[in-house]
Amino acid sequence: MLLSIVACPDMGTDTVSSENTKTLGALVITAILASVAFFTYPWIAAIEPDAEQGKTLFDPELMTPTNVGELEIVRYDAAADVLQRFEVRKNNRGQWTIPSSDNYPADAERQLTEVIAMLEGLTITDVMPNAESLFADYEVMEPDVSGLTPGQNGIGVLVNVKDQNGDPVGSLIVGRADEDQPQLRYVRRPGQPLVYVVEFDPSALRTDFRDWINIDLLEIDAVDIARVDIDDYQLVMEEAGRLTKIPRFRVVATSEGTRWRLDQFLVYDDEGQPSERTVEPTEMLNHARLNQTANALDRLEIVDVVRKPAGLGADLRAAQDQALAADLTQRGFLPVPDGAGGFRIQSVNGDIAIDTRDGIRYTIRFGDVRGEEASADIKLDRYMMVTTSVNAAMFPEPEPPGTAVGEESGAPAPSAPNPTGDDPAAGGDDEEAQRRAEAAYRRAVEERQTRLAAAQQKVDDLNQRFADWYYVVSEASYRDVRFDRNELINGR
């Protein structure tokens, strides 16, 4: 731009001349600033709608499962007037986690691949120009509470994708489906006026925590359960912090397919004194109820998780810590002094031990309910903690082979008849049998060590998974696992 400065003619007085000079100078400065602004402002190039058709919305080289490191999905709940944010993020160890749930490990590979593959292939089939006034009709308004009226309609679902360095890969607001072609959706890039039409299935944009984790808590099958040990009691904190354990019953039962063998059934009276309860000739063990417990353990699903405070070990022992003790207590797990300056954990609603056929013992401790009283709209959930250990009884030591005949007395073994008159080495057959027995014993020892090592490795892996978390399960699941002592034995 060419700027010309033209001198003004003499106005006849110094005052007028001075004022004109000031005015002219101001105009010159304004013109210069306007020129600079025009040439340096980051104008967005006009988008030609027809030129956009057939293009992909995102760079396919960036929008790939291997490049993406973060996915955020934002929905607006008009009834509650809140934004629902869900995010999965890959940490520096390459593990997907859920930040909104204390970075609980996400089983996200399948879901993420599904979402990214859909975004990667989004191709523009049509463009709706001059659609700024129709954002609400297309339901592509950005979910931002600061700019919304409570209960407002027309809000889309925002998807933000970043790479593993945290740099943006792409963002999209997903709106409603086309009325005539429901496989087509109206979408918009945040901050841009054009509304695009693409083929997109929004069902992949799941924001339920349970959709992104392995909800199978124990990862055991009912047929793998060898034995259950149910210790039903209540732990009550009396005045001055004194704990009182109120035992109700204890059941130990061994699985024999779909039938069970009752190994122990102790029933406690009001004074806490136990008595052995047996199955009388006119009674029968309730196999169906024990099978219901086994199936409930198989189907036990995570509703939610809460990270435990720091300081509690995988064995549920810890040093004395008031904040830790308070956190445990409010969830139904009471710290009991262990006599060594620390404490161990007992649950207020009993526990159950499950022995599996591969030698793992799962111990589940049941805490308090989470939430208020149940109603038609509110269902109760319950806190629980899980630990595992190796069940040594499932790995008996092999019996060593017996010694050869006559070896214990020191006398030579009697010779078998020798019709050929040959003179073979005495006891040759017995020695060969001994060698075979010793070889079999060594194989059995090695097999036991291999199975024991595999069990220990599984326990280590499971405890690492369980150690940091309070798990929350539905109250219905809890009641399927537990039962009243009167349910165990039926009359014939």
Q: Does 33 fall in a domain?
A: no
Task: Compute the average pLDDT of residues 343-370.
Answer: 94
Do residues 88 and 212 lie in contact, with contact meaning Cβ atoms separated by under 8 Å? yes
Expressed as residue numbers, the domain containing 309 is 222-392+469-491
DSSP annotation of 404: P
Are 199 and 295 within one domain? no
Are 111 and 244 within one domain? no
* Residue 362: count of CB within 10 angstroms of its CB: 23
Residue 79, classified by CB atoms within 10 Å of its CB into exposed (0-12), middle (13-18) or buried (19+), is: exposed
Residue 89 pLDDT greater than 80, yes or no = yes
Q: Does 397 fall in a domain?
A: no
Are 228 and 368 within one domain? yes
Are 115 and 77 within one domain? yes
Are 281 and 169 within one domain? no
Pure H helices in 79-208? 109-120, 135-138
Query: What integer pLDDT is reported at residue 42 of this predicted model?
Result: 40
Q: Does 433 fall in a domain?
A: no
Query: Over the stretch 141-150, which tens digit does the pLDDT of each residue have?
Result: 999 867 777 8
Q: Does 185 fall in a domain?
A: yes
Task: Compute the average pLDDT of residues 335-344.
Answer: 79
**CA atoms of 65 and 206, how far apart (whole Å):** 17
- Give the total number of structural domains in the chain: 2
Going by pLDDT thresholds of 50, 70 and 90, the confidence category of residue 195 is very high
Are 193 and 269 within one domain? no
**CA of residue 227 relative to chain centroid, distance:** 27
Query: What integer pLDDT is reported at residue 405 of this predicted model?
Result: 45
Extended beta strands in 309-358, E state? 317-319, 333-337, 342-347, 351-356
Going by pLDDT thresholds of 50, 70 and 90, the confidence category of residue 406 is very low
Pure H helices in 286-411? 287-298, 322-330
Are 95 and 117 within one domain? yes
Are 195 and 279 within one domain? no
Query: Over the stretch 99-125, which tens digit does the pLDDT of each residue have?
Result: 989 999 998 788 888 899 999 989 999
Going by pLDDT thresholds of 50, 70 and 90, the confidence category of residue 9 is very low
Are 296 and 361 within one domain? yes
Dihedral, 325, 328, 333, 339 alpha carbons, nearest 10: -30
Query: What integer pLDDT is reported at residue 378 of this predicted model?
Result: 61
Q: Does 400 fall in a domain?
A: no
Are 59 and 204 within one domain? yes
The string over 134-161, giving b where at least 16 C-beta atoms fall within 10 Å of a residue's C-beta and e elsewhere, is ebebbbbbbbeeeebeeeeebbbbbbbb
Task: Compute the average pLDDT of residues 401-424.
Answer: 49
Residue 281 pLDDT greater than 50, yes or no = yes
Are 130 and 68 within one domain? yes
Collapsing DSSP states into helix, strand and coil, what is residue 433?
helix
From 186, 212, 238, the end of a domain falls on: 212
Of residues 320 and 57, the one with the higher pLDDT is 57
The single-letter code of the amino acid at 411 is: A
From 158, 192, 212, the end of a domain falls on: 212
Going by pLDDT thresholds of 50, 70 and 90, the confidence category of residue 264 is very high
Are 237 and 360 within one domain? yes
Residue 413 pLDDT greater than 60, yes or no = no
Query: What integer pLDDT is reported at residue 319 of this predicted model?
Result: 76
Q: Does 151 fall in a domain?
A: yes
The first and second tokens of residue 108, run together, are 């996200």
Going by pLDDT thresholds of 50, 70 and 90, the confidence category of residue 298 is very high
Query: Over the stretch 212-225, which tens digit does the pLDDT of each residue have?
Result: 999 999 999 999 99
Of residues 33 and 49, the one with the higher pLDDT is 49
Of residues 374 and 487, the one with the higher pLDDT is 487
From 155, 188, 212, the end of a domain falls on: 212
**CA atoms of 8 and 141, how far apart (whole Å):** 55
Going by pLDDT thresholds of 50, 70 and 90, the confidence category of residue 12 is very low
**CA atoms of 214 and 255, how far apart (whole Å):** 27
Q: What pTM, to 2 d.p., does this model score? A: 0.77
Pure H helices in 41-169? 49-52, 109-120, 135-138
227 closest CA partner among 392, 350, 364, 356: 356
Say which residues have a Cβ less than 8 Å from residue 367's Cβ, sequence separation at least 6.
Answer: 331, 332, 333, 347, 348, 349, 382, 383, 384, 385, 470
Going by pLDDT thresholds of 50, 70 and 90, the confidence category of residue 5 is very low
Q: Does 311 fall in a domain?
A: yes
Residue 425 pLDDT greater than 60, yes or no = no
Average pLDDT of the chain to the nearest whole number = 84
Q: Does 90 fall in a domain?
A: yes
Query: Over the stretch 447-460, which tens digit does the pLDDT of each residue have?
Result: 999 999 999 999 99
The DSSP annotation for 32-48 comes to HHHHHHHHHS-PPPPP-
**CA atoms of 8 and 20, how far apart (whole Å):** 8
Task: Compute the average pLDDT of residues 69-86.
Answer: 90
Query: What integer pLDDT is reported at residue 63 of this predicted model?
Result: 94
Alpha-carbon torsion 130, 132, 136, 141, what sign?
positive
